[in-house]
Structure 1
Amino acid sequence: MHPSLDLIAAQHREDDAPLGRVMECHECGLRHAVPRLADGTTARCVRCGATLHRFRASSLDHAFAYACAGLVFFLMANFLPFISLEISGRVQAASLVTGIFVLYGQGLWELAAVVALTMFVAPGLRLGTLFVVLGGLHLKQPPRWLPQLHRWAVLLGPWAMIEVYMLGVFVAYVKLIDLATVVVGPGLYSVGALMLAIIAAGTTLDTETVWGEFERRGLTTPPPPVDPHRPACLCHACGLVSNLPAGGHGDCPRCGAVLHRRRPDSLTRTWALVITAIILYIPANVFPVMTVISLGSGAPDTIISGVIELADAGMWPLAALVFFASITVPVLKLIGLITLLVTTRRGSARGLRRRTAIYRVVEAVGRWSMIDIFMISILVALVQLGQLATIEPGVGAVCFAAVVITTMIAAMSFDPRLIWDAAGENRD
């Protein structure tokens, strides 16, 4: 166990502050004796730099306020006029969910399900669960099921992609403004405000602070101190470090999740997902992602042809953005995951901190490849004008969405602590 602590903030904690608890870095596996933090301080891993705990005394109140505001904006986005298209006297209006129904109606239920989950269901449930959990903690007698609800709510975080959706709307808007009149309604501005509320709530709230409040309110039992002479592991659900039972298997004493010293079969599962993504990436780029039909004729567009079209129209910044998000990011993510898998399997001890940083980037950027999928959902919702103009989604979009989802799950299944384990840095 390493006793050092790096506090990135004003160094104003009291020297005699009581010991908080043992924490394990979720990225490299190093354990730290983390003291109780003063307001505004952050504890970071001294080995890889990952954030262990960020304490703000008012974080629960601020996150609750952002969740309340986000729910209001979510309702406004669904009930107020969203966006409409006018061309040659024909007007086509679209709501926040019109694209989902159009995709489903054209037989691409898989793509409709992905769009519905990432831009409607996950953000709504994320805000709703935050509202219930943080609001419940303001009650004199909070419900006993709040910790379990919070545990599942955390899983929704990576799948709420409102900020990516907004960028997809912007790309669709730029594609349409030269062809027709696009009218932006208050519903779209509400989505922008919703995006800011979700980002603010996520950055303000610290999971360890929430679990500490659960303990203070008696919703979970205070965990026993960690015995340094017995095997211990990090709970993947709530982040608690606790001793393993004698048999090596058991449940977390704080949240009840099944304990694993490392994610089960991490390398095997990640390899399987990476290979699947590579196979899917070929049809995602070969088959058309959409077909634009104007006056009875049209040509299919692949991802790369869409980038070329933007460049030919002089929209170089937007073309570069789409190229980076839809082509460069998936390729670099696959290369990064393969590099991590190969070097970990070989037990390489070189560049451990750099490889951990690669994992951190791979996990963070993968969701941004959904820009093209969200752009397509907007275009097919707006451009349904019969013989005048119609946009139809293609099977390439389904394959590309599968690539994005598969690589995201692959990054989640990879346990970065194995990088340091293989190099012999985590001997208990």
Structure 2
Amino acid sequence: MAFSSLVEDAPSDTTTEPHPLICRHCGLLQRVPAMTPPAVVLCARCGVTLRRVQHDSLGRCLAMTLTALLCFAIACSMPLMRVSTSGISLGADLFSGPERLTQQGIWELALVVIFTTVGAPFLKLLGTAYVLIGLRLPRPPRHLPRVFGLVERLRAWAMVEVYLLGVFVAYVKLVDMVHIDVGYAVFALVGLMIAMVAADATLDRQAVWEEMERRGITQHPPAPTPAGTAMQAGRQRTFLACETCEKVAVAEGAGPHECRRCGSLLHDRKPRGIARCWALLIAAAVLYIPANVYPVLTVVQMGSGMPSTILGGVEELVAAKMYPLAAIVFIASIMVPMLKLLGLAILLVMTQFSRDERLVDRVRLYRIIAVIGRWSMIDIFMESILVALVQFGAIVTIEPGVGAVAFAGVVILTIFAAEAFDPRVMWDAASAGRSQ
């Protein structure tokens, strides 16, 4: 039994019972102790945060989620920006960019934009509010575990903060070209971003699952908690951790096994994780070439088209002496995809060669890769805004380019590749290499 915890002295309003937990990043089976909030539990081997316990986590998260839903409703119903030049005025809202992309025949890009800026954030907020309100009812709905499991999967795809940065980049690009009026939707999006970040920061996800279990909302009757000598058997992989709710279950007999708490299928490691990650990584690397070679947009001014690649957009910002913004776009659109491709390739190669060097640093690298990939969508969001706003006929028009579709494919594939990779196999391979 091993654990590392940082607990601050504070009045106790809740107490969690000791329970086993398997680290998602190194696979170490350890027992999380009883805690009084606020508390932080760290993995004894790789240092990853296993859990944060906070005061009234569910109530505070519900308040922030309802606030976010209100801001979301305002953002969807109000104009985002209005531009005017030569007596012509055009406005855009959250839906204008996807609509314009669809009209241009690039429906794939429109689908990505509408899902990451409207669909995923709305479903995530609505699902979270539904679960937290449902847990306050005398008889909670039996399907709450399924709903909360979906919410967990949507977390990586809700990109409101990235979209806001894309709005800012679009504003800077347009400010010298046309007159711009910022709409109320931008301020609502700022409020939405703050509320969503606050909701994520205050929510103890394990507390949600434990409350469901306490109220008897489980897919199967609860099993006895592994303890005593069973904990010593962790190295023989006699226990399976649920990828959705992190519940530790005893592996009895041949599979498949189902999580008793949320109903998800249990696996010792992600099935075919190495092969799937390689396949997605190679596909992303192939798309990375046209994403940087072909134009992501074309500015048609007075009948003359000026195609612009991702690097060309950075050069334009540098030429305009907007160095901080140029650095942001360069890092997010060029460096981050390259880092993800190279970083995942390094992790895969070192794992397959059973290397045991710098395992903790490799875990940190994986966590960085898993977090930063979404920020590469800045260029895609910026383009959707520009395409919607700059449609002034023969004066100036912005049209999307095929490079944007390839670039969106790179971002999506690298996100899936990071999700497919199981960092626990690095520790397995290192252990196997030492024993040979």
Does the TM-score normalized on the shorter chain lie above 0.5? yes
Residue 126 of structure 1: how far off its partner (Å): 0.5
C-alpha distance in structure 2 between counterparts of 1:426 and 1:32, whole Å: 23
Which residue of the other structure, out of 73, 78, 81, is the alignment partner of 1:83?
81
CA displacement, residues 363-410 of structure 1 (integer Å, 9 cap, x when unaligned):
000000000000000000100111111100000000000000000000
Q: Does the alignment pair 1:301 with 2:313?
A: no
What is the CA deviation profile of residues 282-315 of structure 1, one whole-angstrom value per residue up to 9, with x for unaligned ones? Answer: 0000110000011211210000011001100111
How far, CA to CA, are the matches of 1:240 and 1:223 in structure 2? 11
Which of 279, 291, 295 lines up with 1:288 in the alignment? 295
Partner of 2:263: 256
Deviation of 1:177 (Å): 0.6
Match of 1:241 among 241, 248, 251: 248
Change in 2 beyond 3 A, CA 1:425/1:52: farther
For the residues of structure 2 that align with 1:254 and 1:342, how far apart are their CA atoms?
A: 36
Please show how residues 164-243 of structure 1 align to structure 2 within 5 Å: 164-220=162-218, 221-226=221-226, 227-228=230-231, 229=233, 231-243=238-250
- 2:344 aligns with one of 334, 337, 354: 337
1:354 is matched with 361
2-structure distance, mates of 1:419, 1:71: 40
Q: CA deviation at 1:4?
A: 2.8
For 1:412, what is the secondary structure of its paired residue? Answer: helix
1:103/1:393 contact within 8 Å kept = yes
Q: How many residues align?
A: 423
Q: Distance in 2 between matches of 1:355 and 1:419?
A: 9
Q: CA 1:393 to 1:18, structure 2 compared with 1: closer, same or farther past 3 Å? A: closer
**Equivalents in 1 of 2:283, 2:160: separation in Å?**
26
Q: 1:13 to 1:58 in 2, by over 3 A?
A: closer
Please give the alpha-carbon distance, in whole angstroms, between the structure 2 residues aligned to 1:295 and 1:141. Answer: 65
Using the size of structure 2 for normalisation, the TM-score is: 0.94
1:411 CA drift (Å): 0.3
Matched, 1:161 2:159: yes
1:222 is displaced (CA, Å) by 3.8
* SS at structure 1 position matched to 2:139: coil
Structure 1 residues 291 and 18 mapped into 2: Cα distance closer, same or farther (>3 Å)?
closer
State the identity %: 47
Equivalent-residue separation in structure 2 for 1:19 and 1:131 (angstroms):
26
- 1:31 equivalent in alignment to 2:25: no
Q: Does 1:326 align with 2:324?
A: no
Q: 1:23 to 1:113 in 2, by over 3 A?
A: same
For 2:373, the equivalent position in structure 1 comes to 366
Distance 1:384 1:223, change over 3 A: farther
- Cα deviation 1:195-224 (Å, max 9, x = unaligned): 111111112112211001101222124442
1:274 aligned residue: 281
Task: Provide TM-score, normalisation by structure 1.
Answer: 0.96
Distance 1:12 1:94 in 2: 49
Q: Which residue of 1 aligns with 2:43?
A: 45
Whole-Å separation in 2 of the counterparts to 1:115 and 1:360: 25
> Which residue identity does 2:18 align to in structure 1?
G
| Unmatched tracts of structure 1, length 5 or more | none
Structure-2 residue corresponding to 1:133: 131
Residue 248 of structure 1: how far off its partner (Å): 3.9
Secondary structure of 2:118's counterpart equals helix
- Per-residue CA deviations over 1:217-269 (Å, capped at 9, x if unaligned) read 22124442124458111111110111112114311111111110000001000
Q: Which of 96, 102, 105 is equivalent to 2:103?
A: 105
- Structure 1 window deviating more from structure 2 (210-219 vs 161-170): it is 210-219
Provide the residue aligned with 2:55 in structure 1.
57
Shift of 1:12: 6.4
Does the CA contact (< 8 Å) of 1:94 and 1:381 recur in 2?
Answer: yes
DSSP 3-state at the match of 1:236: coil
1:251–1:257 Cα contact (<8 Å) kept = yes
Per-residue CA distance 1:327-385 (angstroms, 9 max, x = gap): 00000111100000000000001100011110010000000000000000000010011
Task: Please tell me whether residue 315 in structure 1 is matched to residue 322 in structure 2.
Answer: yes
User: Which amino acid letter does the alignment assign opposite residue 296 of structure 1?
Assistant: G
Note the aligned Cα RMSD (angstroms).
1.7
Distance in 1 (alpha carbons) for counterparts of 2:346 and 2:11: 41
Could you tell me which amino acid in structure 1 is paired with residue 248 of structure 2?
A: V
Q: Is the Cα–Cα contact under 8 Å of residues 23 and 32 in structure 1 kept in the other structure?
A: yes
Q: Which residue of 2 aligns with 1:423?
A: 430
> Secondary structure of 1:101's partner?
helix
- Give, in whole Å, the separation in 2 of the partners of 1:183 and 1:398: 29
